[in-house]
Structure 1
Amino acid sequence: MEREVRILIVEDDMIIAANISLQLGNLGYEVTGIVTRGEEAILHVRENPPDILLLDINLKGSLNGIETAKAIQTFKDIPVIFLTANTDEATFASAKKTRPKAFITKPFNKLNLQRTVELVADQIWVQEHPVRHSFLDLEVLGDRIFIRYNGKMEKVLLDDILYMEADRNYCTVVTENGNFVLSCTLKTMQERLPNSSFMRVHRSYVVNLSKLDVIADDHLEINRKAIPLSKANRDFLFKRIQAI
């Protein structure tokens, strides 16, 4: 199970901050704190560093959001998402120098917040789970597969596979411990694995049925990753789930 992404909210409007905190909590993120001043944010990051900084550009006090981001970056590299009511070019150019991961323009809605934070959280996950490339064959044996990597066959338990994603003539196998990019199509990979556990839910995705967290009409979720569910596969999936 993946650990929760930890987020520090730096916002001097407490009504907005409380609303953001509630929404992030409902989405499964851990809010490490809400602070209203840049100086407090710097101290908080030193003592309890989060994974993401959700940082208002127009903070009151001696440090605005951009200056706060610069000060934090002198001692800690943390992805920044700026909150701003200003859309002028000068503010954007100044904030851009701190290399933020994203901007959220006020007023924003729940979906905008959810998608922006999810994109940044996904980048963090990728950094923590480096992709390993394999351009040779693989062997399937009972409850595991062996992928040739760095001159040796590396074991991957089928139960550790979350899902597989197509990328033209390649296939990315996403596991709980890392990713493998294989030089075979998703169709070929699907044919090699037991259909009792794995199912194609979209032209670009095969999922491990035992890893499903959410099933909606048009998508699935595994470890907070949204996976599209095609209409052609939806009814069959529901039948499979009922049978299980």
Structure 2
Amino acid sequence: MSKSDTILIVEDEMIIAANISLQLTQLGYNVIDIIPRAEEVLPKLKQQIPDIILLDINLKGDLDGIELAHLIQKEYKIPIIFLTANADEVHFNRAKTTNPYGFISKPFKKLDLQRAIELVLIRIQEEKMNNPNETETFVISDSIFVRSHDKMIKININDILFIEAERNYCKIHCKEKEHLIVSTLKDLEDKLNVKSFLRVHRSFIINMHHIDEIASSHIVIAKKAIPVTAELKKQLLLHIQKV
């Protein structure tokens, strides 16, 4: 359990959201963003996956927090803690259908927030230990099979442009689409033992066949600028000659 765990706050009362953010920061957690509207959450998740989402049930707009939670769960497996000032039976029963990792009733104390987060992080670790197959990855000939939620997806290795780390997740960028999987970049690096792939940054593995540009401090693949250190750039140039 690490205090570098990331948290996304979805709360339309900005004074409350700012107070939550301050308390979490004081506890040592990394608040990646505060989002006031449900419609802005899924685009944010395509950019960065948090470890936990703190989600207000009574969001203003077309979607409330419970409806948003259902949409999130169709694409991601992210623990959700509901924030609510309305703890009536109707809201509680609706919220239960999303299998949240917890509820925090407003107003709450800093200790309530701290304990809720710590209990969720413990549960996350226990789930990982009890589900070792969740991060399975298989490389067979010219394809890689990765586990995404409850199924295995086949990806043609030549179609992979680069792989980007997002904490306990990896985003595999391909020619046509992206695949978000539960895996560390190190695990994929160990299993994806292919000459054309090289780790050029702590957060990136690239397919050298798809490099469009090599600059002084970055490379470009499919219009994406990927950072590379001077030392790794030397290794990259040597590897390119051998590929």
TM-score (norm 2): 0.52
CA 1:13–1:3: 2 relative to 1, 3 Å: closer
Cα distance in structure 2, aligned partners of 1:41 and 1:62: 13
Deviating 4+ runs (over 2 angstroms) = 125-132
Match of 1:112 in 2: 112
Cα distance in structure 2, aligned partners of 1:64 and 1:88: 15
- Contiguous gaps of at least 5 residues in structure 1: 133-244
1:65 to partner: Cα distance: 0.3
- Contiguous gaps of at least 5 residues in structure 2: 133-243
Sequence identity, in percent? Answer: 55
Residue identity in the other structure for 2:70: K
Q: Secondary structure at the match of 1:25?
A: helix
Cα distance in structure 1, aligned partners of 2:81 and 2:126: 18
Q: Secondary structure at the match of 1:98?
A: coil
Aligned length: 132
Residue identity in the other structure for 2:107: P
Match of 2:43 in 1: 43
Cα distance in structure 1, aligned partners of 2:103 and 2:11: 14
Match of 1:229 in 2: none
Residue identity in the other structure for 2:100: P
TM-score (norm 1): 0.51
TM alignment of 1:1-244, pairs within 5 A? 2=2, 4-129=4-129
1:40 to partner: Cα distance: 0.9
Cα distance in structure 2, aligned partners of 1:73 and 1:89: 23
Residue identity in the other structure for 1:56: D
C-alpha root-mean-square deviation of aligned residues, in Å?
1.9
Q: Secondary structure at the match of 2:75?
A: coil
Cα distance in structure 1, aligned partners of 2:28 and 2:130: 23
- Residues 100-147 of structure 1: CA deviation (Å, up to 9, x unaligned): 010000111111111111100111233345699xxxxxxxxxxxxxxx
- Residues 17-65 of structure 1: CA deviation (Å, up to 9, x unaligned): 0110011111111111000011111211122110101000000111100
